[in-house]
Structure 1
Amino acid sequence: MIDALKTYLTNRAPLPDEAVQRIYSLALERRLTRNEALFNVGDVCRYKVFVVKGLLHTFNNTEDGHEHILQLSPENTWTLDVESYELQTPSRFSIAAVEHSEVLLWQKDDFDMLLREIPEFKLFAEGLIAEYVHSSRRRIFEMLSNSPEEQYDAFIQANPELAARLPLRMIAAYLGMSLKTLTRIRHAQLQR
Protein backbone atom coordinates (compact mmCIF):
# COMPACT_ATOMS: atom_id res chain seq x y z
CA MET A 1 0.00 0.00 0.00
CA ILE A 2 2.96 2.29 0.44
CA ASP A 3 3.46 2.47 -3.33
CA ALA A 4 -0.09 3.81 -3.84
CA LEU A 5 0.39 6.39 -1.08
CA LYS A 6 3.80 7.40 -2.41
CA THR A 7 2.45 7.84 -5.96
CA TYR A 8 -0.49 9.86 -4.67
CA LEU A 9 1.66 12.15 -2.49
CA THR A 10 4.29 12.57 -5.21
CA ASN A 11 1.63 13.70 -7.67
CA ARG A 12 -0.27 15.92 -5.24
CA ALA A 13 2.26 17.15 -2.69
CA PRO A 14 5.89 16.61 -3.57
CA LEU A 15 7.40 15.40 -0.33
CA PRO A 16 10.86 13.99 0.32
CA ASP A 17 11.02 10.18 0.50
CA GLU A 18 11.82 10.39 4.22
CA ALA A 19 8.57 12.30 4.83
CA VAL A 20 6.53 9.74 2.88
CA GLN A 21 8.18 6.93 4.84
CA ARG A 22 7.41 8.71 8.11
CA ILE A 23 3.76 9.26 7.13
CA TYR A 24 3.41 5.63 6.11
CA SER A 25 5.16 4.35 9.24
CA LEU A 26 2.28 5.60 11.39
CA ALA A 27 -0.47 4.20 9.15
CA LEU A 28 -2.48 1.10 9.87
CA GLU A 29 -3.43 -1.04 6.88
CA ARG A 30 -6.93 -2.42 6.71
CA ARG A 31 -8.86 -4.42 4.16
CA LEU A 32 -12.64 -4.20 4.09
CA THR A 33 -15.03 -6.61 2.47
CA ARG A 34 -18.08 -5.38 0.55
CA ASN A 35 -20.56 -3.71 2.96
CA GLU A 36 -18.15 -3.97 5.91
CA ALA A 37 -18.30 -0.94 8.19
CA LEU A 38 -15.19 1.00 9.12
CA PHE A 39 -17.28 2.46 11.94
CA ASN A 40 -20.96 2.88 12.72
CA VAL A 41 -23.32 5.56 14.00
CA GLY A 42 -22.54 6.06 17.69
CA ASP A 43 -18.87 5.10 17.38
CA VAL A 44 -16.16 7.74 17.67
CA CYS A 45 -14.28 8.38 14.41
CA ARG A 46 -10.70 7.81 15.55
CA TYR A 47 -8.93 7.78 12.17
CA LYS A 48 -8.17 9.81 9.09
CA VAL A 49 -8.68 7.41 6.21
CA PHE A 50 -6.95 7.25 2.84
CA VAL A 51 -8.62 4.95 0.30
CA VAL A 52 -5.95 2.99 -1.55
CA LYS A 53 -8.35 0.72 -3.43
CA GLY A 54 -12.11 0.38 -3.57
CA LEU A 55 -14.94 2.69 -2.64
CA LEU A 56 -16.35 3.84 0.70
CA HIS A 57 -19.47 5.81 1.53
CA THR A 58 -20.38 7.98 4.49
CA PHE A 59 -24.07 7.65 5.29
CA ASN A 60 -26.91 7.56 7.77
CA ASN A 61 -30.26 5.81 7.73
CA THR A 62 -33.39 7.60 8.89
CA GLU A 63 -35.88 5.94 11.21
CA ASP A 64 -38.08 5.09 8.23
CA GLY A 65 -35.18 3.20 6.62
CA HIS A 66 -34.10 5.73 3.98
CA GLU A 67 -30.36 5.91 3.41
CA HIS A 68 -28.74 9.33 2.93
CA ILE A 69 -25.20 9.33 1.56
CA LEU A 70 -23.10 12.30 2.55
CA GLN A 71 -19.88 11.37 0.77
CA LEU A 72 -18.48 8.87 -1.72
CA SER A 73 -14.77 8.09 -1.37
CA PRO A 74 -13.10 6.20 -4.22
CA GLU A 75 -9.40 5.45 -4.64
CA ASN A 76 -6.96 8.26 -3.84
CA THR A 77 -9.36 10.19 -1.63
CA TRP A 78 -9.54 10.85 2.09
CA THR A 79 -12.52 10.39 4.35
CA LEU A 80 -13.62 10.67 7.96
CA ASP A 81 -16.46 12.10 10.02
CA VAL A 82 -14.91 15.50 10.70
CA GLU A 83 -17.10 16.43 13.65
CA SER A 84 -16.66 13.12 15.46
CA TYR A 85 -12.92 13.05 14.71
CA GLU A 86 -12.19 16.59 15.84
CA LEU A 87 -14.39 16.54 18.94
CA GLN A 88 -13.93 12.82 19.68
CA THR A 89 -17.69 12.46 20.10
CA PRO A 90 -20.06 9.74 18.86
CA SER A 91 -20.63 9.93 15.13
CA ARG A 92 -23.99 10.58 13.50
CA PHE A 93 -22.74 8.70 10.43
CA SER A 94 -21.35 5.34 9.41
CA ILE A 95 -18.55 4.74 6.92
CA ALA A 96 -18.60 1.42 5.07
CA ALA A 97 -17.15 -0.22 1.98
CA VAL A 98 -19.31 -0.29 -1.14
CA GLU A 99 -16.91 -2.85 -2.63
CA HIS A 100 -13.78 -4.66 -1.48
CA SER A 101 -11.48 -1.88 -0.30
CA GLU A 102 -8.01 -1.29 1.08
CA VAL A 103 -7.42 1.71 3.31
CA LEU A 104 -4.71 3.34 5.35
CA LEU A 105 -5.70 4.72 8.76
CA TRP A 106 -3.98 7.27 10.99
CA GLN A 107 -5.00 7.77 14.61
CA LYS A 108 -5.72 11.39 15.50
CA ASP A 109 -2.68 11.85 17.76
CA ASP A 110 -0.36 10.35 15.13
CA PHE A 111 -1.81 12.45 12.30
CA ASP A 112 -1.59 15.62 14.40
CA MET A 113 2.05 14.79 15.13
CA LEU A 114 2.76 14.34 11.40
CA LEU A 115 1.24 17.75 10.71
CA ARG A 116 3.56 19.30 13.30
CA GLU A 117 6.64 17.41 12.09
CA ILE A 118 6.20 17.88 8.33
CA PRO A 119 5.22 21.46 7.38
CA GLU A 120 4.74 20.51 3.69
CA PHE A 121 2.28 17.82 4.73
CA LYS A 122 0.39 20.32 6.87
CA LEU A 123 0.07 22.68 3.89
CA PHE A 124 -1.13 19.78 1.77
CA ALA A 125 -3.73 18.80 4.39
CA GLU A 126 -4.97 22.39 4.60
CA GLY A 127 -5.36 22.43 0.82
CA LEU A 128 -7.41 19.20 0.96
CA ILE A 129 -9.69 20.74 3.58
CA ALA A 130 -10.22 23.81 1.38
CA GLU A 131 -11.02 21.58 -1.63
CA TYR A 132 -13.51 19.60 0.45
CA VAL A 133 -15.24 22.76 1.70
CA HIS A 134 -15.50 24.13 -1.84
CA SER A 135 -16.89 20.91 -3.30
CA SER A 136 -19.34 20.50 -0.39
CA ARG A 137 -20.67 24.02 -0.83
CA ARG A 138 -20.99 23.48 -4.59
CA ARG A 139 -22.87 20.21 -3.99
CA ILE A 140 -25.24 21.82 -1.47
CA PHE A 141 -25.96 24.69 -3.86
CA GLU A 142 -26.63 22.29 -6.73
CA MET A 143 -29.00 20.22 -4.57
CA LEU A 144 -30.88 23.37 -3.56
CA SER A 145 -31.05 24.97 -6.99
CA ASN A 146 -31.01 22.21 -9.63
CA SER A 147 -33.82 19.93 -10.71
CA PRO A 148 -33.41 16.19 -10.07
CA GLU A 149 -32.60 15.74 -13.77
CA GLU A 150 -29.87 18.40 -13.59
CA GLN A 151 -28.46 16.84 -10.41
CA TYR A 152 -28.26 13.42 -12.04
CA ASP A 153 -26.69 14.81 -15.22
CA ALA A 154 -24.09 16.71 -13.16
CA PHE A 155 -23.30 13.56 -11.17
CA ILE A 156 -22.81 11.49 -14.34
CA GLN A 157 -20.65 14.21 -15.94
CA ALA A 158 -18.44 14.55 -12.86
CA ASN A 159 -18.31 10.86 -11.87
CA PRO A 160 -18.78 8.55 -14.88
CA GLU A 161 -16.63 5.84 -13.29
CA LEU A 162 -18.60 5.94 -10.02
CA ALA A 163 -21.92 5.68 -11.84
CA ALA A 164 -20.80 2.32 -13.21
CA ARG A 165 -19.72 1.07 -9.77
CA LEU A 166 -22.74 2.12 -7.72
CA PRO A 167 -26.19 0.58 -7.58
CA LEU A 168 -28.97 3.01 -8.55
CA ARG A 169 -30.31 3.12 -4.98
CA MET A 170 -26.96 4.51 -3.77
CA ILE A 171 -26.81 7.14 -6.52
CA ALA A 172 -30.34 8.19 -5.54
CA ALA A 173 -29.34 8.31 -1.84
CA TYR A 174 -26.31 10.46 -2.71
CA LEU A 175 -28.40 12.83 -4.82
CA GLY A 176 -31.13 13.11 -2.18
CA MET A 177 -33.91 11.68 -4.32
CA SER A 178 -36.02 8.55 -4.29
CA LEU A 179 -35.09 5.52 -6.35
CA LYS A 180 -38.43 5.96 -8.14
CA THR A 181 -37.47 9.49 -9.21
CA LEU A 182 -34.04 8.40 -10.42
CA THR A 183 -35.52 5.48 -12.34
CA ARG A 184 -38.02 7.85 -14.03
CA ILE A 185 -35.17 10.24 -14.98
CA ARG A 186 -33.06 7.45 -16.46
CA HIS A 187 -36.03 6.02 -18.35
CA ALA A 188 -36.85 9.44 -19.81
CA GLN A 189 -33.21 9.87 -20.90
CA LEU A 190 -33.21 6.48 -22.63
CA GLN A 191 -36.36 7.43 -24.52
CA ARG A 192 -34.66 10.51 -26.05
Structure 2
Amino acid sequence: MRLSVGGDTVDDVVREIEYLVGDATAPNGVGRRIVAHVCNDAGGWGKGFVVAVSRRWREPEAAYRLWYRERAMNDFALGAVQLVPVAEDLFVANMIGQHGDRPRPGNPPVRYAAIETALTALGGRALDLGATVHMPRIGCGLAGGQWELIEPLIEERLAARGVAVTVYDLHS
Protein backbone atom coordinates (compact mmCIF):
# COMPACT_ATOMS: atom_id res chain seq x y z
CA MET A 1 0.00 0.00 0.00
CA ARG A 2 1.23 3.53 -0.69
CA LEU A 3 0.34 6.47 1.49
CA SER A 4 0.60 10.19 0.94
CA VAL A 5 2.16 11.91 3.93
CA GLY A 6 2.62 15.66 3.78
CA GLY A 7 2.76 15.59 -0.01
CA ASP A 8 5.31 12.75 -0.09
CA THR A 9 4.43 9.22 -1.10
CA VAL A 10 5.82 6.49 1.13
CA ASP A 11 5.45 2.74 1.23
CA ASP A 12 3.43 1.44 4.14
CA VAL A 13 5.03 -1.97 4.52
CA VAL A 14 3.34 -4.34 6.91
CA ARG A 15 4.89 -7.78 6.80
CA GLU A 16 3.63 -11.10 8.00
CA ILE A 17 5.77 -13.47 10.02
CA GLU A 18 7.17 -16.25 7.85
CA TYR A 19 7.28 -19.70 9.46
CA LEU A 20 9.83 -22.28 8.33
CA VAL A 21 10.99 -25.69 9.46
CA GLY A 22 14.70 -25.34 10.04
CA ASP A 23 17.48 -24.09 12.26
CA ALA A 24 17.29 -20.46 13.40
CA THR A 25 21.09 -20.42 13.78
CA ALA A 26 21.32 -20.90 9.99
CA PRO A 27 19.05 -18.04 8.86
CA ASN A 28 17.77 -18.01 5.28
CA GLY A 29 18.37 -15.13 2.94
CA VAL A 30 21.09 -12.69 2.09
CA GLY A 31 21.99 -9.30 3.42
CA ARG A 32 22.06 -8.28 7.04
CA ARG A 33 20.37 -10.76 9.35
CA ILE A 34 19.81 -10.85 13.10
CA VAL A 35 19.25 -14.09 15.01
CA ALA A 36 17.17 -13.11 18.05
CA HIS A 37 16.61 -15.15 21.20
CA VAL A 38 15.58 -14.68 24.83
CA CYS A 39 18.07 -14.83 27.70
CA ASN A 40 17.53 -14.77 31.45
CA ASP A 41 18.49 -12.01 33.89
CA ALA A 42 20.34 -14.43 36.20
CA GLY A 43 23.53 -14.78 34.18
CA GLY A 44 22.79 -18.39 33.23
CA TRP A 45 23.66 -19.69 29.78
CA GLY A 46 23.71 -23.38 28.98
CA LYS A 47 20.22 -24.75 28.33
CA GLY A 48 17.72 -24.37 25.52
CA PHE A 49 18.36 -22.43 22.32
CA VAL A 50 21.60 -20.91 23.65
CA VAL A 51 23.22 -24.34 23.33
CA ALA A 52 22.65 -24.20 19.56
CA VAL A 53 23.88 -20.59 19.49
CA SER A 54 27.09 -21.55 21.32
CA ARG A 55 27.67 -24.52 19.01
CA ARG A 56 27.69 -22.18 16.04
CA TRP A 57 29.37 -19.06 17.51
CA ARG A 58 31.42 -18.26 20.61
CA GLU A 59 30.87 -14.50 20.67
CA PRO A 60 27.23 -14.31 21.89
CA GLU A 61 27.89 -16.31 25.08
CA ALA A 62 31.10 -14.44 25.84
CA ALA A 63 29.38 -11.09 25.27
CA TYR A 64 26.37 -12.10 27.41
CA ARG A 65 28.56 -13.28 30.30
CA LEU A 66 30.61 -10.06 30.23
CA TRP A 67 27.43 -7.98 30.00
CA TYR A 68 26.05 -9.79 33.05
CA ARG A 69 29.33 -9.61 35.01
CA GLU A 70 29.55 -5.85 34.43
CA ARG A 71 25.80 -5.23 34.92
CA ALA A 72 26.39 -2.64 37.65
CA MET A 73 27.96 -0.44 34.97
CA ASN A 74 25.72 -1.10 31.95
CA ASP A 75 22.11 -1.60 30.82
CA PHE A 76 21.80 -5.34 31.61
CA ALA A 77 18.21 -5.75 32.83
CA LEU A 78 14.86 -7.13 31.74
CA GLY A 79 14.01 -5.68 28.33
CA ALA A 80 17.60 -4.93 27.31
CA VAL A 81 19.08 -6.06 24.01
CA GLN A 82 22.70 -6.79 23.19
CA LEU A 83 23.54 -7.04 19.48
CA VAL A 84 26.61 -9.21 18.91
CA PRO A 85 28.30 -9.41 15.49
CA VAL A 86 29.19 -13.01 14.60
CA ALA A 87 30.01 -12.74 10.89
CA GLU A 88 29.85 -10.17 8.13
CA ASP A 89 26.20 -9.05 7.96
CA LEU A 90 25.16 -11.48 10.73
CA PHE A 91 24.33 -10.60 14.34
CA VAL A 92 22.90 -12.35 17.39
CA ALA A 93 20.49 -10.38 19.57
CA ASN A 94 20.67 -11.42 23.23
CA MET A 95 17.32 -10.16 24.59
CA ILE A 96 16.70 -10.24 28.35
CA GLY A 97 13.11 -11.46 28.60
CA GLN A 98 13.21 -14.07 31.33
CA HIS A 99 13.42 -13.47 35.10
CA GLY A 100 15.58 -16.13 36.67
CA ASP A 101 16.31 -19.45 35.09
CA ARG A 102 13.97 -21.86 36.86
CA PRO A 103 10.21 -22.08 36.57
CA ARG A 104 8.19 -21.92 39.77
CA PRO A 105 4.72 -23.43 40.04
CA GLY A 106 2.29 -21.04 38.37
CA ASN A 107 5.05 -18.50 37.69
CA PRO A 108 7.14 -19.22 34.60
CA PRO A 109 10.32 -17.15 34.08
CA VAL A 110 9.00 -15.45 30.91
CA ARG A 111 8.34 -11.73 31.21
CA TYR A 112 6.13 -10.58 28.35
CA ALA A 113 6.63 -6.87 29.04
CA ALA A 114 10.41 -7.36 28.90
CA ILE A 115 10.13 -9.24 25.61
CA GLU A 116 7.96 -6.45 24.22
CA THR A 117 10.51 -3.82 25.29
CA ALA A 118 13.36 -5.86 23.80
CA LEU A 119 11.47 -6.40 20.53
CA THR A 120 10.80 -2.66 20.27
CA ALA A 121 14.52 -1.93 20.61
CA LEU A 122 15.38 -4.78 18.24
CA GLY A 123 12.96 -3.39 15.66
CA GLY A 124 14.74 -0.05 15.72
CA ARG A 125 18.15 -1.70 15.35
CA ALA A 126 16.92 -3.93 12.50
CA LEU A 127 15.47 -0.94 10.65
CA ASP A 128 18.69 1.06 11.15
CA LEU A 129 20.73 -1.86 9.79
CA GLY A 130 18.28 -2.82 7.05
CA ALA A 131 18.31 -6.32 8.58
CA THR A 132 15.86 -9.19 8.67
CA VAL A 133 15.16 -10.93 11.98
CA HIS A 134 15.27 -14.71 12.49
CA MET A 135 14.31 -16.57 15.65
CA PRO A 136 12.94 -19.72 17.20
CA ARG A 137 9.63 -19.39 19.06
CA ILE A 138 11.22 -17.07 21.59
CA GLY A 139 10.20 -17.26 25.22
CA CYS A 140 8.30 -20.52 24.75
CA GLY A 141 10.91 -23.08 25.73
CA LEU A 142 12.53 -22.99 29.15
CA ALA A 143 11.01 -19.56 29.81
CA GLY A 144 7.55 -21.16 29.77
CA GLY A 145 5.83 -18.55 27.62
CA GLN A 146 2.80 -18.99 25.40
CA TRP A 147 3.26 -18.38 21.68
CA GLU A 148 -0.24 -16.94 21.36
CA LEU A 149 0.92 -14.11 23.68
CA ILE A 150 4.36 -13.62 22.11
CA GLU A 151 3.39 -13.77 18.42
CA PRO A 152 1.31 -10.53 18.60
CA LEU A 153 4.29 -8.75 20.18
CA ILE A 154 6.48 -9.78 17.24
CA GLU A 155 3.79 -8.71 14.78
CA GLU A 156 3.39 -5.30 16.42
CA ARG A 157 6.99 -4.48 17.34
CA LEU A 158 8.71 -5.89 14.25
CA ALA A 159 6.49 -6.93 11.33
CA ALA A 160 4.10 -3.97 11.48
CA ARG A 161 7.13 -1.67 11.37
CA GLY A 162 8.35 -3.27 8.14
CA VAL A 163 10.91 -5.69 9.58
CA ALA A 164 10.89 -9.07 7.84
CA VAL A 165 10.68 -11.83 10.48
CA THR A 166 11.22 -15.55 10.06
CA VAL A 167 10.34 -17.97 12.87
CA TYR A 168 11.94 -21.39 12.73
CA ASP A 169 10.63 -24.67 14.10
CA LEU A 170 13.14 -27.52 14.19
CA HIS A 171 10.47 -30.10 13.37
CA SER A 172 7.19 -29.90 11.49
Shorter chain as normaliser: what TM range?
under 0.3
When Rg is computed on C-alpha atoms for both structures, the one with the higher figure is 1
| TM-score, normalised relative to structure 2 | 0.28
| TM-score, normalised relative to structure 1 | 0.26
Higher relative contact order (CA 8 A, sep 6+): 2
User: Which of the pair is proportionally richer in helix?
Assistant: 1
